């Protein structure tokens, strides 16, 4: 099968095709990849070039000096490492492609003016450089023109993170509720899969089992009072952990749910003021529940950037406390 550039129709390799589709959503030769990079502002070398550089750094001598048993063990470890690394890369690639699809789905719901405003806020050019051929001389030259709506979608998608695009869409009243539901569901699935892999490699621990069970839980509907979230989650956990109890007092603390010595604090619906109270509870609860503390947040109505800053602060201050957003 022949692969060719979408612009100049020049034949390209399969590797160039895969790289170009991943980065630019269309097949391009190396020359037009460079032009597209300039339009999008790329500065990093292609991943395959980085990989070649790393492979060239690996020494090729000294293999015969290794004794056979060690050599077999080494090969076994290398094989397992390669399989694990390949799986990790495949999962990472799938996630990256899914995130790009979410970005594009949201951006395609915006008007041209809205796309231009994102470019203004992120300091992205609304122009692009194209390669043209002179009809008489046959020589190629570059020309700067205005980006089309599709050009802006591709540029923003490549240079802007998903949280900003979601925040901008909400600020400008773009209807993306169905996309947000899909994002929440898919991210929850990714996290459960990640926890399952950790449990397979490092052995099953109670707090990981509880975290996995909580992440798999979905309330039947959105509630306007915290008690309903607390009761429904407690019922779900009790079906898996019979020792589940509600509001067990210890000292000055009374967490919403306790499962075999692990405290679970429930918030929902969750607003700014609710996030502020969690840090205080973390300081007190960790003294009386050393086995672990899990904070579960339902229906979070907080600015994405505000929530991101809060989450980072919690991870730095209370690294052992697990935050689960549902």
Supply the pLDDT for residue 74. 61
pLDDT > 90 in the chain, percent: 33
**Averaged over 250-279, what is the pLDDT?**
88
Beta strands in 153-304 (DSSP E): 245-246, 257-259, 262-267, 293-297
What confidence score (pLDDT) does residue 250 get? Answer: 79
Asked whether the beta carbons of 208 and 192 are under 8 A apart, the reply is no
Residue-level pLDDT at 307: 87
pLDDT for 158-203, tens place per residue?
Answer: 999 998 999 899 999 999 989 988 988 888 888 888 777 766 665 5
Residue 51 confidence (pLDDT) above 50: no
The single residue listed with the structure tokens 């502002």 is 41
Residue 241 corresponds to which tokens in the numbers above? 């952990």
pLDDT of residue 201: 63
The tally of CA atoms less than 13 A away on the side-chain side of residue 208 is 15
Q: In the prediction, which pLDDT does 103 show?
A: 94
Indicate the CATH number of 220-325 among 2.40.50.140, 3.50.50.60, 3.40.50.740, 3.40.1350.10.
Answer: 3.40.1350.10
Which DSSP state fits 63? Answer: G
Residue 304 token pair = 């994405």
Q: What does the pLDDT read at residue 189?
A: 84
pLDDT at 132: 82
pLDDT for 100 equals: 92
- C-beta separation of 27 from 6 below 8 A: yes
Q: How far is Cα of residue 138 from the mean position of the Cα atoms in its chain? A: 46
How far is CA 17 from its chain centroid?
25
pLDDT tens for 23-49 read 777 788 888 888 877 776 554 544 444
Condensed to tens digits (0 to 9), the pLDDT of residues 72-90 reads 556 565 665 665 566 667 7
The pLDDT score that the predictor gives to residue 138 is: 79
Give the domain ranges of the chain: 1-54, 78-172, 220-325
Q: What is the dihedral sign for C-alpha 281, 283, 289, 290?
A: positive
Token representation of residue 316? 């730095």
What pLDDT, on the 0 to 100 scale, is given for residue 50? 46
Q: What is the CA radius of gyration of the chain?
A: 26
CB 260 within 8 A of CB 252: no
What value does the mean pLDDT take over residues 266-276? Answer: 91
pLDDT in tens, 114-131: 999 999 999 999 998 888
Quote the pLDDT of residue 286.
83
Enumerate residues 6+ apart whose C-beta is below 8 A from 39.
125, 128, 129, 151, 155
Give, for 216, the enclosing helix (H) or strand (E): helix 206-216
**Confidence tier at 295 by pLDDT (50, 70, 90):** very high
Q: What is the pLDDT of residues 135-146, one digit of tens each?
A: 788 788 788 899
Higher-confidence residue: 305 or 227?
A: 227
Q: Which of 274, 320, 322, 269 is nearest to 299 (CA)?
A: 269
Between 83 and 242, name the one with better pLDDT: 242
Partner residues linked to 11 by β-bridges:
4
* β-strands 245-246, 257-259 pairing: antiparallel
Which string of DSSP letters, residue by residue, matches 74-95?
HHHHHHHHHHHHHHHHHHHHHH
Mean pLDDT of the chain: 81
């Amino acid at each position: 099968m022949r692969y060719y550039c979408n612009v100049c129709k020049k034949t390209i390799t399969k590797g160039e095709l895969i790289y170009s589709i991943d980065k630019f959503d269309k097949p391009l030769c190396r020359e037009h990849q460079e032009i597209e990079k300039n339009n999008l502002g790329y500065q990093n070398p292609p991943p395959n070039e980085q990989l070649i550089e790393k492979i060239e750094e690996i020494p090729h001598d000294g293999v015969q000096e290794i004794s056979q048993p060690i050599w077999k063990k080494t090969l076994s470890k290398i094989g397992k490492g390669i399989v694990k690394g390949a799986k990790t890369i495949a999962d990472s690639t799938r996630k990256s492609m899914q995130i790009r699809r979410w970005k594009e789905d949201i951006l395609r719901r915006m008007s041209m003016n809205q796309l231009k405003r994102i470019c203004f806020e992120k300091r992205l050019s609304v122009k692009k450089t194209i390669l043209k051929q002179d009809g008489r001389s046959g020589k190629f030259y570059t020309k700067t023109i205005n980006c089309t709506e599709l050009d802006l979608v591709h540029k923003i998608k490549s240079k802007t993170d998903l949280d900003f695009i979601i925040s901008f869409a909400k600020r400008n009243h773009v209807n993306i509720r169905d996309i947000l539901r899909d994002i929440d569901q898919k991210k929850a699935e990714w996290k459960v899969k990640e926890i399952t892999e950790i449990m397979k490699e490092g052995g099953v621990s109670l707090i990981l089992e509880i975290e996995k069970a909580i992440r798999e839980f979905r309330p039947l509907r959105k509630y306007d009072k915290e008690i309903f979230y607390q009761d429904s989650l407690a019922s779900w956990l009790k079906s898996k952990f019979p020792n589940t109890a509600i509001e067990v007092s210890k000292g000055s603390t009374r967490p919403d749910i306790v499962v075999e010595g692990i405290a679970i604090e429930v918030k929902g619906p969750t607003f700014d003021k609710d996030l502020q109270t969690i840090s205080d509870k973390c300081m007190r609860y960790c003294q009386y529940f050393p086995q672990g503390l899990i904070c579960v947040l339902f229906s979070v109505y907080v600015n994405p950037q505000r929530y991101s800053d809060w989450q980072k602060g919690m991870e730095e201050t209370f690294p052992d406390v697990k935050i689960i957003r549902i």
